[in-house]
Amino acid sequence: MASAGIQSRGDEQGEKVCRYLIFVVWSRTLRSRVPVKRPAACNVSQFVKELGMPGSWSYTDVFGLDPELLAMVPQPCVALLLLFPINDKYEQYRKGEEERIKEAGQNVTSKLYYMKQTIGNACGTIALLHSIANNQESIKPEKALKTFLENTASLDPVERAAYLEKDESIKVAHESSALEGQTETPSRDDEINLHFVALVQKEGELYELDGRKPFPINHGKTTADSFLEDAAKVCKEFMARDPEELHFTVVALAQTG
């Protein structure tokens, strides 16, 4: 199937849901190319740098999922954030996925950092924490990020969520940034319910980390070299399950300096 061209349009609804980190897909075929509404990744990078992410690492826009556009993403790329719409079709898939995994089981390394989402509309912050926490050896976070990750390292996913609820440094940044997706029941005026997940590589396997789910999702083998391509395939699977939906975006966490 042919790839769609890149287009961009304003979207007032997106501004309401997520003032900084919102990207709108307007291609109507394969949607392998993802148009970006700015400002976007630059504001996310500013948010996490204030919390203690070194300046050599940044969140950068992914302009598309075709190989030639993925080649524009700086390397090393250690995580992708996917913003997508939650609707009845997705919820039906999610429930079936959980049932299949509970029945068949899956491998999840004990070195994976995972936390639940217990704060409404905090999926953006959770996704950022997941992406950084699982790459601490490379990123070497400082200040509030370092303190949070050190203090929650030995906690379970629910305890980490409870700790986040009480963490004033991240809470203040979260409330002032308005970078979140929307994971509570939308009002009558809201048309789109958007949500963030993180995709990371740990111990040679690709994981989808979503604080709404009861556990991480193992998407199979990957390597540091193939991670970006493998994670992009997972993003395409999200899109393929809902071919009429137009609102998807991808952001990469990469070393840029």
Cite the active site residues: 123, 195
Under DSSP, is residue 123 helix (H, G, I), strand (E, B) or coil?
helix
- Residue 238: strand, helix, or coil: helix
- Residue in the structure block whose two tokens are 């990078």: 45
Beta partners for 251?
Answer: 61, 81
Task: Give yes or no for a contact between 48 and 145, defined as CB atoms under 8 angstroms apart.
Answer: yes
H or E element at residue 104: helix 88-104
- My answer on whether omega of the bond before 76 falls inside 30° of 0, hence cis, is yes
CA atoms within 13 A on the CB side of 96: 6
Query: What is the rounded distance in angstroms from the CA atom of residue 206 to the CA atom of residue 105?
Result: 16
The residue behind tokens 């639940």 is: 116
The values of phi and psi at residue 252, to 5°, are -110, 140
How many C-beta neighbours within 10 Å does residue 212 have?
A: 13
Q: How many residues does the chain have?
A: 257
Going from the C-alpha of 87 to that of each of 34, 54, 181, the distances in angstroms are: 20, 36, 14
